[in-house]
Every structure is written in C-alpha cells, then in structure tokens.
Amino acid sequence: MTTTITAPTLSLADFDFELPEARIASSPLAKRSDSRMLVLDPLSQRFADAQVRDLPRYFSAGDLLVMNNTRVLKARLFATKPSGGAVELLVERLLSSQLAQVQLSVSKKPKVGQHIILEDGTQVAVTARAGAFWLLELPQERSWLAVLDQLGHMPLPHYMNRADTENDAERYQTVYAKTAGSVAAPTAGLHFDAELLAAIDARGINRTELTLHVGAGTFTPIRSDNIREHSMHSEHYSIPADALQAHLAARAQGGKVCAIGTTSLRSLESWAAAKAPIAELDFEGETALFIYPGYQFKAIDALFTNFHLPKSSLFVLTCALAGTELMQRAYAHAVQEEYRFYSYGDAMLILPGSLG
C-alpha cells in the first residue's frame, strides 16, 4: 500500500493535544490482552472501540504481523563520584562487553579520565564524550550485561513517576523478547500473551520477528516548530532472512503486512529505503528515519501501536499513516472514553479498510 497525505501540516503545534494526567497508565493491567484497542480506518475516516483480544478478527490467513523481539536491559544504574556526589546512569547502548554509551544525570559533568563508582564499588572509567552521551568503560574482568543484571533497574519512563518493582522486570518485557539491548520496551508488544498469540496462529495469520534496540534518543522531544528540522538518534536494527522472506511472501499473495509497534515499522521502512538485496541474507543497519506526514510508505499496510506523547516523533509517525485530522479526533475520543495512555496503556490499530 502507498499512503499519501496531501497538504501536510508540518508545524509542531499541529501535533499537540490535551491529555489529563489521570489518563496516563502508571502500572499494567493484570492480563496483557485485556487492554482496549481503538481501530482507525484512514480510508473511511472512521474509528471504533474494540479490545486487543479482537485483533485477529481484523486480519486473514496469509496476512503477516511483524514483531520486535528486542529485550529491555535493566539499564538504569545508581552511582557516585569520588567526591560522593550522586550520579544516575542510563545505558543507551552497549558497544562491547566493557564499553557502553550512557546518559548521565549529575550535578557537575565528569571529565574524561575520571571514574564513577557503582553501588558495588566497581570503578567505571569515563573515556569520551559523544554528543549528549558519555562512553564508560568497565574493568576487563567485568561485563556490562553482568553489571546490569546485578545492579540495574528497569528504565521505566519518567512519566510513571515511581520506582521499578519486581513486577516490572516481567511486565516491561514482551513475552517474545529474546535479544537484549533496549533501554525502553517496544510497548505495542506488551499487549501480547500466549492466549492472543494462539488465537492469531489459529486464524492462519503469520508472525515473524526482527530486532531494533530502542535507544533513549527515540524519546528526544521535537524542539523546532518546523518538524522537518528534527533529527532522530540512530538505532541499530536487524531483520533475519526468514522475516524478509515472510514479508515478500505476504506481499506476493496479496496479504496485509502489519507492523507491531513503531520500531518494527521504522525497521521495515528503513530496509525498504535501503533497497537491500532481498531474502537470502540477514539484513542489519542503523536507522535514524523520521517519518512525518507526506511520507510514502513502502513496506507496511497497517500499524498496531500504543498511544503516544503530544508533539512526539511517534505521534507524528502515526499521523503520517492515518492523517493528522483523523488522529486528533481519535485521540480526543480516547481521552473522553478514558483510554489508558503510554507504555502500560491501551492500543490503537491503524488499518485502511477495516471499518468499511
């Protein structure tokens, strides 16, 4: 499918909306697939209320759902400077066993060559500044994966305004998470449980997986009134050959391709834009793709996603697929009907032709 939104509005103010704090979900529902789902049809310009468990009804045998199987790191750490000052670390990306790119929250920024002391006494060397990030290196005998597993906390979004709990260690992961590397969950996938996956399979809907490690840069606010001037931070993604083959097979048979989450969508669209050799080999790369109204979609037909922040790049992306006016009406409806917003909130399915 090729979606073209005519006469796009590209002022940041057009992607703002009112969201009462009470609509922000700070904890998950007891059952993942009990969440509500707002279904949007860009063709009819209509939307309808449904449940996440209804998702299989909107697809047919031969359609394809593409999921991001990244696993969230316990990426938040607490430490001190040698002077005793408090430091909070958010590991943005693991560059090697000992080297990590991190964000630092500290009263006075460290200098290259200084050390930061973790809660277990491990001294981490500050080796370089990398834009908004810092490169930190562990001693040779330690690894970041082991340190994060031992000392790390789940990096819950700031708007939850609470410390992580043991429940978050399980619920802030998808049930199909495999490859560790993200600092935030691919939140659309949090709605899937064994029961929903079984219902999808029973209907003959195909599933495949790719990996995009979500970085902190995904949530960088758009600061320019002209959204065209916004730049995304780069994130690493990889698409196995069998996923590429499943995508091509669905398209060849006339099936719909639905990205489960914006990370899956951006991975597929980045692969399509790269015009990479198709099917025989795994494909991987870096993506800083920013999708806004006027974008020509090449690799997907539908998107299953959560509700996003006002004026965020993710809300802008959904407007590119569904149209800004329809998205604003749908979000206003979701607020009025008391949908739950953000990471632990409810979901939206954008599927042309779904409502006749």
As a whole number, mean pLDDT of residues 79-103 equals: 93
Structural domain boundaries in the chain: 12-72+168-350, 76-152
Question: Above 70 in pLDDT, residue 218?
Answer: no
Q: Which helix H or strand E contains 272, and what residues bound it?
A: helix 262-274
Pair of tokens at residue 286: 């870096």
For residue 116, what are the β-bridge partners? Answer: 124
- Cα 204 to Cα 65: distance, rounded to the nearest angstrom: 11
What sign results for the dihedral spanned by CA atoms 35, 69, 61, 203? negative
Do residues 116 and 79 make contact, with C-beta atoms less than 8 angstroms apart? yes
Question: Above 70 in pLDDT, residue 2?
Answer: no
pLDDT tens figures, 310-348:
999 999 999 999 999 999 999 999 999 999 999 999 999
Nearest one of 274, 307, 346, 329 to 53, comparing CA atoms: 346
Indicate the pLDDT class of residue 278, thresholds 50, 70 and 90.
Answer: low
Of 34-48, 147-161, 208-222, which gets the smallest average pLDDT?
A: 208-222
Q: What is the CA radius of gyration of the chain?
A: 21
Phi and psi angles of residue 329, each rounded to the nearest 5 degrees, phi first: -65, -40
Pair of tokens at residue 84: 């005793």
CATH superfamily entry for domain 12-72+168-350: QueA-like (3.40.1780.10)
- For residue 9, the model assigns a pLDDT of 52
Q: Which amino acid is at 171?
A: R
* Helix and strand numbers, DSSP H then E, in the chain: 7, 17
Do residues 248 and 206 make contact, with C-beta atoms less than 8 angstroms apart? no
* Identical fold, 12-72+168-350 and 76-152: no
Do residues 39 and 50 make contact, with C-beta atoms less than 8 angstroms apart? yes
The reply to whether CATH 2.40.10.240 applies to domain 76-152 is: yes
- Cα 182 to Cα 180: distance, rounded to the nearest angstrom: 6
Pair of tokens at residue 234: 């780069």
As a whole number, mean pLDDT of residues 275-280 equals: 65
E strands in 201-328? 206-212, 235-239, 257-260, 283-287, 302-306
Question: Above 50 in pLDDT, residue 4?
Answer: no
Nearest one of 205, 207, 231, 206 to 218, comparing CA atoms: 231
- Cα 116 to Cα 86: distance, rounded to the nearest angstrom: 10
Mean pLDDT of the chain: 93
- For residue 220, the model assigns a pLDDT of 77
